Amino acid sequence: MNLPVLLQAATNPLLLAAPGNQVGLEHYLVVSALVFGLGIIVVITRKNAIAILMGLELLVNAVGLNFVAFAKFSSPDAIDGQVVTLFIIVIAAAEAALALAIALNIFNNLNTVEVDEARALKG
């Protein structure tokens, strides 16, 4: 590669990408499916409340990635997917704060964060 092409690539990084190596919608969907699958596996297999919450966050992040990917490829000028993802992030933060408060309350009452041992909640 000669110097003028590298200088142009410094202002436009897409010039360095080969035509067949660009990231498409399928790539986003595969990554999102992998993250969603990992989240499902974590939620199903873990007994620790904190690990289950981390799995739920993976699920929510996979959905947000799908919204952004579909918004980018369906209409690049619209920001609908980004706005929905912003709401998802805000709701996920509130959910995490509430769930951690519940987990701390269970730990204070039962001295454990294992979900199997917290079957009945006292009133």
Looking up residue 99, the CATH number of its domain turns out to be 1.10.287.3510
Q: Cα–Cα distance between 97 and 32 in angstroms, integer? A: 24
Residue 31 lies in a domain: yes
Domain count, the chain: 1
User: Is 79 or 31 the better-scoring residue by pLDDT?
Assistant: 31
Q: pLDDT-based confidence at 123, cuts 50/70/90?
A: low
Residue 30 lies in a domain: yes
Residue 82 lies in a domain: yes
Q: pLDDT-based confidence at 58, cuts 50/70/90?
A: very high
Token pair of 107, please? 């730990």
Residue 56 lies in a domain: yes
Residue 54 lies in a domain: yes
Tell whether the torsion through CA atoms of 53, 58, 63 and 65 is positive or negative.
positive
What's the domain range around 54? 23-110
Please state whether the predicted TM-score (pTM) of the whole model is above 0.85.
no
Residue 97 lies in a domain: yes
Long-range contacts of 17-26 (CB under 8 A, 24+ apart): 24/73, 25/69, 25/70, 25/73
Residue 55 lies in a domain: yes
